[in-house]
Amino acid sequence: MLKKIGKKIIAKHSSQWLVLAIDVFTVLVTFTISYLISFNFQPDFEISNLFAQLILIGLIATLSFLIIGSHKGIIRHTGLKDANNIIIGVNIIATLLIIIVLFGKIYSFNQIFNIPVSIIYIHYLLNIVLLVSSRFIFKELYKYFIYDLKLTSNVLIYGAGNAGMITYEAIKNDVHNKYKVVGFLDDNTSKAGKNIDMVKVYNPDYVDEEFINKHNITEVIVSIQNVKSTKLIEIVDSFIVKSLKVKIVPPVNKWIDGDLQVGQIKQVRIEDLLGRKPIDINNPSIKKEIENKVILITGAAGSIGSEIARQVATYNYKHLILLDQAESPLYDLQQDFKRDKRKNFTVIIGDVRVGTKINQLFEEFKPDLVYHAAAYKHVPLMESNPYQAIKSNILGTINMTDLSIKHQVDKFVMISTDKAVNPTNVMGATKRVAELYITCSSKMNKASKTKFITTRFGNVLGSNGSVIPLFKKQIDTNGPLTVTHKEITRFFMTIPEACQLVLEAGAMGNGGEIYVFDMGESIKIFDLAVNMIQLSGYKYPDDIDIKIVGLRPGEKIYEELLGDGENTIKTHHNKIMIAKAKEIECGLIKPKIIDICDRLDTTSKIELVSKMKEIIPEYISNNSEYELLDTETVKTN
């Protein structure tokens, strides 16, 4: 056992002892050369004295280098600090020699201590030059044999500022990476033509086909912190058309222990082009809201529900109930929580549409806070199945709302959608009816403890069934990508950001508010499709084409976040606003909502849609199956 440990220690430190041995040997060689220089390369000195002095020099050099630890530096990472350590060591050697020589003269020591001062000075200078230069020579040789001789990709770094330099240093010092930086790119014309560590800075406009072929460039790494999405799109578009891969350096807060690792440099994703800022999980207002509370999340297996669960799980909650009817994704979420060693959570397969069972759940766990994310959301499917849309999105919300009041839940936060605004489809209409029911429940139950908050936002990137995963699948099968209309636009937000804002809105809500999130600029889906094709390394339309298939039933060209007669009130959060909704007659609307659910099993598909149009006059269907109902609804209203 001790033998094995000894071998490990020797193996671990063998390189350090080798460096020390080389340094001491160099000091001995420079001392010999100093003698020869001092005596004009004539052997007019006592050879035996030189050999004896070399033993002394070796001991002093070993002691000096051990004191300063210059042998512990990693040769391939040699820098100014290593050079400084060597200079300190050389000064220690020279100082000790001068002290020994002075004492030798004063006390008439042995002749071997009588070293001429001129030799000590020459030795000092030679040591500095040879020891320091040898370090950098070994570093360059290491780079040449390990780095330059292996297969590499020639890359350009876009950004010659601090972030660009950090990226360059990370690439240069990582011997296992496959990059070779052949130039920097920067929009600042004053930097163009200059060199950074012998690497030239170019204006991006200078990079044409001839330049790319001459330098055999394959990739561009964008290293600009807080780059605007519009600028990033411009950069990506300019290089992708030249058949160059574009990669991006992550934000500083995602660097490992504050240091950038080459492995973190990734291919630009479509999410990077949409300009959504990273979220801050450590939020004091959310912490105060969630701490020591029993929390129920419906639709917990879905894209939004599962992310809300993961974010809530980072806080000190009392108990977390994860409710969904989807068995497989709920099981996956349960395994994620177990793997992350989450405690005090219960996974329940249940259906918000079954009030008696949900009531039992409330009685057992007594939740303080409810996040209601359970809903059917796919527009074309719900257009053909209004019964299921109403049962899940309206009846499910009624059950959760009424039971929250009955069991004195502190807060009820509903996840709505921008499709509820001036709806043109069944799904959006059901969500708007659900919003109205919650609003009426808030207004008509003022004595209730429960505060009702509604959050309304647009599409989330990467959610189940959203356009981006669809495009990815279509790209994997070589296309074509299907877009319903060339001018169709949508708002986009990342799932983590949307859920963060849901939690923040829930924390700031006092009851009765409809919170609208700042979704940024709307994105043209056709442009999104083109970008995704190019980011995947294909050319549009040569490699993969885009097919316009026409608007689906109930689909809008443009989405809205505010309905007719609505405007917004600012909050202290710059991305969260309150929709100042027009007044509604709850005494008339709420009974109609209850009636549509009571008669659900005996009502035809057309009648169900007709009843929703009576509740929501602004619901104008794009579906030819329901278009005739619009004129009838206008007449009755």
Residue pLDDT, tens place only, 496-533: 888 999 999 999 999 989 998 887 777 888 988 888 88
Mean pLDDT value across the chain = 84
Does residue 132 surpass a pLDDT of 90? no
Please give the DSSP secondary-structure letter assigned to residue 259. B
Does residue 432 surpass a pLDDT of 50? yes
Domain-wise residue ranges, the chain: 2-146, 151-268, 284-615
pLDDT score recorded for residue 127: 83
CB neighbourhood size of 146 (10 A)? 12
Which tokens is 535 given?
């980011």
How far is 185 from 222, CA to CA, in rounded Å?
A: 9
pLDDT score recorded for residue 565: 54
Which residues, including other chains, have CB under 8 Å from residue 432's CB and lie 6 or more apart? 420, 421, 423, 616, 619
What is the average per-residue pLDDT within 351-362?
97
Q: Residues, the chain, total? A: 637
Whether 591 contacts 524, CB under 8 Å: no
**φ/ψ of residue 90, rounded to 5:** -60, -40
Q: Is 161 helix (H, G, I), strand (E, B) or coil?
A: coil
* Between residues 499 and 52, the one the model is more confident about: 499
Of 76-80, 133-137, 360-364, give the lowest mean pLDDT range. 76-80
Q: Which of 147, 155, 153, 126 is nearest to 35 (CA)?
A: 126
Q: Kindly report the CATH class assigned to 151-268.
A: alpha beta
Which tokens is 475 given?
């790209």
Q: If 0-12 CB within 10 Å is exposed, 13-18 middle and 19+ buried, where does residue 249 land?
A: buried
Whether 489 contacts 522, CB under 8 Å: yes
Q: How far apart are the first and last CA of the chain?
A: 91
Q: Of 53-57, 117-121, 261-265, 606-610, give the range with the top mean pLDDT.
A: 606-610
Summary count for the chain: helices (H), strands (E): 22, 22
CB neighbourhood size of 361 (10 A)? 20
What is the average per-residue pLDDT within 473-494?
88
Beta bridge partners of 548: 483
How far is 473 from 462, CA to CA, in rounded Å?
A: 12
Does residue 111 surpass a pLDDT of 70? no
Beta bridge partners of 460: 493
Beta bridge partners of 158: 185, 222
The answer to whether domain 151-268 and domain 284-615 are alike in fold is: yes
- Given 172, 391, 419, 451, the catalytic residue: 419
Using alpha carbons only, give the angle 284, 290, 291 rounded to the nearest 5 degrees.
Answer: 85
Does residue 9 surpass a pLDDT of 80? no
**φ/ψ of residue 569, rounded to 5:** -115, 135
In 178-236 the beta strands, taken as DSSP E runs, fall at: 179-185, 195-196, 199-202, 217-222
Does residue 110 surpass a pLDDT of 80? no
Q: Which of 292, 554, 509 is nearest to 414 (CA)?
A: 509
How far is 304 from 465, CA to CA, in rounded Å?
A: 12
Secondary structure (DSSP) of 296-322: EEETTTSHHHHHHHHHHTTS--SEEEE
Does residue 279 surpass a pLDDT of 80? no
Whether 457 contacts 418, CB under 8 Å: yes
Question: pTM of the prediction?
Answer: 0.68
Beta bridge partners of 245: 219
* Between residues 386 and 496, the one the model is more confident about: 386
Kindly indicate the confidence band of residue 404, based on its pLDDT and cuts at 50, 70 and 90: very high
Pairing of strands 576-580, 513-517: antiparallel
pLDDT score recorded for residue 348: 97
Kindly indicate the confidence band of residue 435, based on its pLDDT and cuts at 50, 70 and 90: very high
Which tokens is 588 given?
């008339």
Q: Is 419 assigned a catalytic role?
A: yes
pLDDT score recorded for residue 6: 42
Does residue 442 surpass a pLDDT of 60? yes
Q: What DSSP element (H or E) covers 173?
A: helix 162-173
pLDDT score recorded for residue 193: 87
Which residues, including other chains, have CB under 8 Å from residue 519's CB and lie 6 or more apart? 418, 457, 458, 491, 492, 493, 561
Q: Which of 162, 161, 143, 177 is nearest to 265 (CA)?
A: 177
pLDDT over 90, % of the chain = 39
Kindly indicate the confidence band of residue 4, based on its pLDDT and cuts at 50, 70 and 90: very low
Give the CATH number of domain 284-615; options: 3.40.640.10, 3.40.50.1580, 1.10.150.120, 3.40.50.720: 3.40.50.720
Does residue 564 surpass a pLDDT of 90? no
